[in-house]
Amino acid sequence: MSQQPLQETQRSVLQTELAAKRRRAALRIGTRQVDKDTTVLDLSGQGLTALPESIGSLASLTVLDVPNNQLTALPESMGSLMSLTALYALSNKLTTLPDSIGSLPSLTALAVGNNQLATLPESVGSLASLTQLDVANNQLTTLPESMGSLTSLTQLLIFSNQLTTLPESIGSLKSLKQLDARGNKLVTLRESLGSLTSLTELNVTYNKLRTLPESMGRLTSLTQLHVYGNKLTTLPESIGSLASLKQLDVANNQLTTLPESICRLTSLAQLDVNGNPLQLPPLAVANRGVGPVRVFFADLKAGSAISRRA
């Protein structure tokens, strides 16, 4: 009797057993079968309304990409994803984040912008490896003080929320390079902001700021400062200490004067003061750039600036 039919039968049985084993080792998410050893999981735009608690069993998962779904919550079991380095859940309907999110020791990027978050859990401050945090376009009215523990954070996107103030602990974010807080309801900025010595870009356009803290003069790495569309009536004298500043946008405020210290900004290449009732220097002078502003103040000291106003 030929051995071939027997071998084929044995092979068929083995394949069936292997297939069954793979099914047992997988979990179903929506219409997808996901292997337990998956490292990168892209579920973007799948119409998902929930993720199963069993997702916490994906011990090898490093990237979870679930944007553009209908998720209203994330499972607590996500706190078991010890290998997870990036979680992208943009453009869902999330109203909260699980407390267990603070248990992700490897997480470096958390993007939950364009959701319906009203608060962030205090546990977010335990994400010691986090370098990028995007919570823009939500409904946040406050940020937890625990965020000051995110000492690895380099990028913080909190624009288009309902924030009226920033946590005092924000000054502890020693690695922060970009802070984008435009389109909120900020009425003041913390003095502790001046401790962000790594900060290169600060955007607080379209808020309700009337003043900027004197401590801003300590932001010696700052290259871009955007405060367009606020209610500023003065700029701090300390602004002249921003030695690295290249772009200063203070358009559409209520400024009548610029501090003379602005003349010390030797790196400044772009100055936008449009939409202010400037008198000293006159708007026509300031609109020509920082060079003419320096000349104006020099002439003012010499007593001849009056003739230049015409």
pLDDT of residue 8: 62
Q: Which residues contact 26 (CB under 8 A, 6 or more apart)?
A: 33, 34, 35, 36
Confidence of residue 56 (pLDDT cuts 50, 70, 90): very high
Determine the Cα–Cα distance for residues 63 and 88; give it in Å rounded to an integer.
8
The beta strand positions in 69-177, using DSSP E, are 86-88, 109-111, 132-134, 155-157
Confidence of residue 4 (pLDDT cuts 50, 70, 90): low
Percent of the chain exceeding pLDDT 90 equals 79
pLDDT, tens digit (0-9, with 9 covering 90-100), for 246-276: 999 999 999 999 999 999 999 999 999 999 9
Is the pLDDT at 31 greater than 90, yes or no? no
User: Global pTM?
Assistant: 0.88
What tokens does 223 get?
């290259």
Helix, strand or coil, per DSSP, at residue 35: strand
Determine the average pLDDT of the residues in 290-302: 85
Pair 56, 78: CB distance under 8 Å = yes
pLDDT of residue 77: 95
Per residue in 58-89, is it b (16+ CB within 10 Å) or e — as a string?
A: beebbbbbbbbbebeebbebbbbbeebbbbbb
DSSP alpha helix (H) spans, 187-246:
none
Residue ranges and CATH numbers for the domains of the chain are: 26-281 (3.80.10.10)
Determine the Cα–Cα distance for residues 263 and 249; give it in Å rounded to an integer.
15
Is the pLDDT at 236 greater than 90, yes or no? yes
Is the pLDDT at 24 greater than 90, yes or no? no
Average model confidence (pLDDT) across the chain: 90
pLDDT, tens digit (0-9, with 9 covering 90-100), for 87-141: 999 999 999 999 999 999 999 999 999 999 999 999 999 999 999 999 999 999 9
